[in-house]
Structures are given as structure tokens and as C-alpha cells.
Amino acid sequence: MQLLLLNGPNLNLLGQREPGLYGRQTLDAIEQQLKQRAATAGVQLDCYQSNFEGALVERIHQSMGTADGIMINAGAFTHTSIALRDALLGVAIPYVELHLSNTHARESFRHQSYLADRAVGVVCGFGPFSYELAFDGLLHHLRQVEA
Ligand code: CA2
């Protein structure tokens, strides 16, 4: 089983700015922790972050035929990007949308998601733990489908 973790714009700043909103953990620390969880579960995990919408679209295309599932924190692109939606639907790989913050408890423009309605599930509001919940949820879904 191979999973892909995608992170969108500004998430490379995690742990360096706005700790009150997004926590003190760096993206690298979150990725390393998730890789450990993946190793324990016998799953291969690739991680990719970009501040560029097109680069994320390209990475989604590259995962066709290799990734069994995708976890995506698309950052602000969640609320704006039809291109990311089209790419995810285009490759037809099951995905989970995730966020550190509870986007529904924030500005109204963050309540809209171009990804959520076609996702296996959505996790938000648990800080870095959202990544672990998304991983467990996606794995549970894929193993159910496999069985
Ligand atoms: O809560 C989330 O995970 C978000 O995807 C984070 C995005 C925001 O636009 C979404 O609405 C919700 C923003 C990521 C910004 O990341 C930063 C991290 C540290 C310092 C500054 C920004």
C-alpha cells in the first residue's frame, strides 16, 4: 500500500510563525511522525509540499498508478482551486482532506471547500493530530475496500 501526503501553500512555515493558530510542530516533524506511523502499519508514505498550485497538480498526476490514497492539506487552495479538484478527480485516487485548524470556526471564506464533497472524509481542527487521524481514516477506508 502506498500513500501520498500533500501540503499546499505556506505550510512550510509551520512551527516558525503563528503557533497559536497552527501549533509549534514543523512540517518536517509532522511528516517524520507520520512516516513512523506508516512504517508501523506496513505502508509506504511519500510527502510533498509546494506553494505552487501547478506543482501540486503535477504531483497528483504523477501519483497515478502508484498511490492508493492521498491525504491533502491544500491550505488556502482548498477554498479556491478547481484545478486541484479536477486533478484529484482526474486521477480517481481516494483522498482525505485535512486541516490543522477548524476551518468552520473561522472566516466564512474558509467554510467553502472545492475538495470536500468528493473526499472519503474530512478532518479539521485537531492541529498536527489531524494528520494522524487522516492517515488512520484513509487506511481504514482503503483496507475496507480491499477486503
Ligand atoms: O488549518 C489548515 O490546515 C489550513 O489549511 C491552513 C491554511 C489556511 O488557508 C486554510 O484555510 C486552513 C493556511 C496555512 C498557513 O500556514 C502557516 C503556517 C505557519 C505560519 C503562517 C502560515
How many domains, the chain?
1
- Annotated active-site residue 22? The verdict is yes
- Answer yes or no: is pLDDT of 88 > 90: yes
Over residues 9-45, the pLDDT tens digits come to 999 999 987 888 898 999 999 999 999 999 999 999 9
Over residues 45-78, the pLDDT tens digits come to 999 999 999 999 999 999 999 999 999 999 999 9
State which residues form the domain around 119.
2-146
- Answer yes or no: is pLDDT of 146 > 90: no
- Residue 14 and residue 142: Cα distance in Å, rounded? 29
> Are 144 and 111 a contacting pair, CB within 8 Å?
no
Q: From the CA of 60, how far away is ligand 1's center (Å)? A: 20
Q: How is residue 64 written as a grid cell?
A: 497515478
- Residue 20 and residue 18: Cα distance in Å, rounded? 5
Q: From the CA of 11, how far away is ligand 1's center (Å)? A: 6
| pLDDT of 21 | 87
- Annotated active-site residue 111? The verdict is no
Mutate to test the pocket of ligand 1, among 30, 96, 100, 115 (most ligand atoms within 8 A of CB): 100
- Residue 74: give its domain's CATH number: 3.40.50.9100
> What's the start-to-end Cα distance of the chain, in Å?
13
* Ligand 1 within 6 A of CB of 131: no
| pLDDT of 17 | 78
Share of the chain above pLDDT 90, in %: 93
